[in-house]
Amino acid sequence: MWSDSQDHILVQWPSGEECTLQILVVHASVMLLTYGPGRQPNLFQQLMDVWLSPPGPRAFLVDTSEEALLIPDWLKLKMIQSEAPGLVEAALADLEAPQLLLFAQNFGIPPSNMSKLLATLDRAVVADVTAVAEALQDRSYMVQLVRVQHHLGAQGGHAFLQFLQPTAEEDPQEDMEVKEVEEQLRQILPTPQVKASASSAEEALIPSLFLEDGAEARAAFVKFHRAVCKEVSSVQGAPGIFIFS
């Protein structure tokens, strides 16, 4: 039988304060932060301090007392896509290699934020190259992906590229082909801005990528981006490039 307590968590802060909340209240608070400070920077900072300032609060299920995941991966992706100050750093703080590799495949991340993600990937390679290797599924695909992100304005990821292709040299022809479609991508990709609302399709898809039973959605996501990167890297004058954001 369903219990109301299954939707509630006990949140505890390092200060010793605690309260019982509906989990959606936490998600809504973080989503609100992704829209930026607006005209209320003080209120924005207060909300940041409550949920995202380190070391941050911990959450426990009310009915079982087990520790709960306060900010799921789909919400961290929203934070990484946001241009609000401090959100990217908070989202990247405790990500593991599989999460970093999945987030790096998203073309809806602004170049400045992607640079921070690639820098985090570089540090992950230095800190635990085995974990990165175990999470990696397609080296050539990731090489193409990072190069496309570089041509879109992102920086970093050089240690990651060296790990992917330790003896490879840049292919001038491939580099030229990527540059030729760079302008197409810039025209297709919208200028990053705060969105008033997200489509129901986007809201349905993003969480499904991170569910335990979301293998089918993740497989489709990866297949789609492989096709995008292959087209960007090898097709001159491509008539149409579809971008997931």
pLDDT digits (tens, 9 = 90+) for 17-73: 999 999 999 999 999 999 999 999 999 999 999 999 999 999 999 988 899 999 999
pLDDT digits (tens, 9 = 90+) for 160-211: 999 998 765 555 555 555 555 555 555 555 554 444 444 444 444 444 455 5
- Give the whole-angstrom CA distance, residue 136 versus residue 102: 10
Buried b (16+ CB within 10 A) or exposed e, 102-141: bbbbbbbbbeebbbbbbbbbbebbeeeeeebeeebeeeeb
Mean pLDDT rounded to a whole number for the chain: 79
Mean pLDDT of 116-134: 95
- Give the whole-angstrom CA distance, residue 67 versus residue 37: 30
Whose tokens are 């961290």? That residue is 76
User: Confidence band (pLDDT; 50, 70, 90) for 239?
Assistant: very low
Predicted local confidence at residue 1, as pLDDT: 37
Predicted local confidence at residue 145, as pLDDT: 92
Predicted local confidence at residue 241, as pLDDT: 38
pLDDT digits (tens, 9 = 90+) for 74-119: 999 999 999 999 999 999 998 999 999 999 998 889 999 999 999 9
Give CA separation, 241 vs 1, 103, 111, 130, 173, in Å: 48, 20, 19, 34, 20
The helix/strand count (H/E) of the chain reads as 12, 4
pLDDT digits (tens, 9 = 90+) for 134-158: 999 889 899 999 999 999 999 999 9
